[in-house]
Chain A
Amino acid sequence: MPRARKGTIVQCDPSIRALILQIDAKRNHDIILEELDDTHLLVDPAMTDYIKEELNRLLSKNIYNPLEEEEA
């Protein structure tokens, strides 16, 4: 018998997917409901904003900021 499950599908490239997996691991896997394929994940609808925030934080770490360098 088929089953329908409520959730939010997240479409992203594999590198972002890896980051989301990492975020999920840190939180005892309460975010990801199902790993669908290389570019899709099924996540808890309530967590999408949290994922976005975390992604932003992680990605910002790797940004070169030309202004900081000048001020230093």
Chain B
Amino acid sequence: MSTNNLFKTTVLEYLEGLPQNVQSRLYESPASCLAIYRILPQLAKFLIMSMVFNEQEVALTDLSAWVTHQGKYEFNEAIKTMSSLHVIIKAEDPNDRADTKISLNHVFRISFRNALTGGEVHKSFGVVIEDDTDDIVLDPKADQSTLEKLRKLKQAKKRKNRAKSTQFLDQYAADKWETILHYMVGTPGMKAPSETVLNLLIHGNLMKEEQNGDLKITNEGFQFLLQEVNVQIWALLLQYLKLAESLQMNPVDVLNFIFMLGSLELGQRYSIDSLSKVQLSLLKDMSNYGLIYHDEQAKEFYSTRMATILTSDLMSIRSASNAMNSVIAHKDSDESAAAKQLMNQEDELDPSNIMDGALIIETNFKLYSYSNSPLQIAILSLFVHLKARFSNMVTGQITRESIRRALKNGITAEQIIAYLESHAHPQMIRMAEEQLTKKTELDPNTTETLQILPPTVVDQIKLWQLELDRIIHYDGYLYSDFDTLKEYHELANYADDIGVLIWKNDKKKMFFVDYEGNSQVVEYAKRLVKREDQDAD
């Protein structure tokens, strides 16, 4: 299904498609170089590292000596990606293809070195506001009491600024992002996100306008909901970039800004003074997505955790609701715990660390999800028949109808299974692991893989999908009543050769070609007849 690849277009692919001069201008920013470096595949990182402090050209054969035979594919992919990004420049010798020399893009090399070793970079990584900035001017001419009042105000403001720390930012990001997702699932009683967000959703084909002006979620939108938060953010940002291009915004400015966000420090105040005009207008949009917090009066902004994971290849946050839930859950505890929750998957078996929304599915299709987030529940209700809600969990059942409803909405069985698997309760994973260990003890050569979900449920969901298309049908033409077998074979083989043959039966001397290919077959048949006529003459 083509829609499956909808969210596979990554930011790298977008960057590869940019014209070279745009790329070069992008590389002038050390922060962007660092961000691009961070999202490149591991092998590409290694190759860049080996070349960054080496002014000389390197022979491609020398680089490939580093990889084993199994890594050849990965190596070629890395080289391909880097050269379409123009991070590396290939100098090919026309006489000898094996003698290809490679060097790092000059602009990229300089910027990246600056990013690594600290050179002229400060602006591209944002400008930090030191805490001693004087927002309130103390006028010495004023009388003593007002001066005292101002001092107190200043102190209070300072405290407030510091309180706008990670907890506040996490809460803020969660609110913004959840509003968007809630709006998409259509949770009743939720306020709509801002106009720009809605525009983006429509442009990205995640929602479409009904005739009565209401917005309705599309197939793509349903699939979007099941993605990881990182994928979701990038999907929206890429859409934003496309939109920005049509609004004549400079893509370099936009990209630089996004990449800068990825390298900002959480909870730190940044000045807006160093931003370009375009970037100032971006501030508002980005705060609508919850990527940054920006108070319109103040000349400062903060990045949120959602922004800092942008260029991180740690795919630690599994889904939007999870990330947000754990953030909310930990809002009262200290922030290091929240960070740990986000970053640490290994500690899942620690009961205090079980992520919210963990779910258990039994072989009788009953489902229990330990979640009290309305968003998590709304997403589950896309494909589960929910029955009861308790203070810390919901129960429901996967039924033929509930799955069919989801399938009709464009969600595929694979997506449902993947979602269930990634949200499986640690207890389910542990049980699956125990079973696998037992199996391997009995038969060391077993090809069994880890089955987290009950196989009956997985198979049934897949069967329900197949059941939806019990018949496969093609429009086209049936050819019959051939006089001779030779005539039949000639035409049938031709149809097969050009790939339009759908069915044939040699005994009945009939075959079926699809609608598009029919004219070619008719054309060929006419030629055959003509040739025969000529032969007869």
Residues of A in contact with B (beta carbons under 8 Å apart): 1-13, 16, 20, 33-34, 36-37, 40, 42-43, 45, 48, 51-52, 55, 59, 63, 65-67
Contacts and interface: CB of A to CB of B under 8 A. Distances in A.
Interface in B478-537: 478-483, 487-488, 491, 502-503, 505, 508, 510, 512, 518, 522, 525
B481 A2 contact: yes
A11 B480 CA distance: 18
A55 B525 contact: no
Nearest to A15: B470
B400 interface: yes
Interface string B460-477: 000000010011111111
A2 B505 CA distance: 15
Contacts of B365: 66
20 contacts: A1-B483, A2-B479, A2-B480, A4-B479, A4-B522, A5-B477, A9-B503, A10-B471, A10-B472, A11-B473, A11-B474, A12-B471, A34-B478, A36-B512, A42-B478, A43-B473, A59-B467, A59-B470, A63-B400, A66-B399
Contacts of A5: 477-480
B471 A2 contact: no
A36 B510 CA distance: 9
Given A9-B512, A42-B512, 17 more contacts: A2-B480, A2-B481, A3-B481, A4-B477, A8-B474, A8-B475, A9-B473, A9-B476, A10-B471, A10-B472, A11-B474, A34-B478, A40-B503, A48-B473, A66-B397, A66-B399, A67-B397
Contacts of A51: 471
Interface of B: 365, 385, 397, 399-401, 467, 470-483, 487-488, 491, 502-503, 505, 508, 510, 512, 518, 522, 525
A65 B488 CA distance: 50
Contacts of B397: 66-67
B471 A16 contact: yes
Contacts of B512: 9, 36, 40, 42
Contacts of A6: 476-477
Nearest to B402: A67
Given A2-B491, A9-B502, A36-B510, A55 B471 contact: yes
A42 B504 CA distance: 12
Contacts of B480: 2-3, 5, 34
A53 B473 CA distance: 14
Nearest to B491: A2
Given A2-B487, A2-B525, A10 B473 contact: yes
A17 to B, nearest CB: 9
For the complex of A and B, the 9 pairs showing the least CB-CB separation, nearest first, are A12-B471, A11-B472, A3-B481, A4-B477, A10-B473, A5-B478, A2-B482, A9-B512, A8-B475
Contacts of A1: 481, 483
Given A9-B512, A51-B471, A52-B471, A65 B481 contact: no
B471 A9 contact: no
A9 B504 CA distance: 11
Contacts of B475: 7-8, 45
A48 B474 CA distance: 10
A37 B511 CA distance: 12
Nearest to A60: B400
Q: Which of B467, B474, B482 has the most CB of A within 10 A?
A: B474
Nearest to B525: A2
A72 B488 CA distance: 61
B511 to A, nearest CB: 10
A59 to B, nearest CB: 7
Contacts of A3: 479-481
Contact of B505 (A11, A12, A36, A48): A36
Nearest to A39: B503
Contacts of B522: 4
A31 B503 CA distance: 19
Contacts of A13: 470
Contacts of A42: 478, 512
B476 A8 contact: yes
Contacts of A40: 503, 512
B363 to A, nearest CB: 13
A53 to B, nearest CB: 12
A9 B467 contact: no
Contacts of A55: 470-471
Contacts of A4: 477-479, 518, 522
A10 B474 CA distance: 7
Contacts of B479: 2-5
Contacts of B477: 4-7
Contacts of A59: 467, 470
A22 B325 CA distance: 54
B483 A16 contact: no
A40 B474 CA distance: 11
B399 A65 contact: yes
Nearest to A64: B400
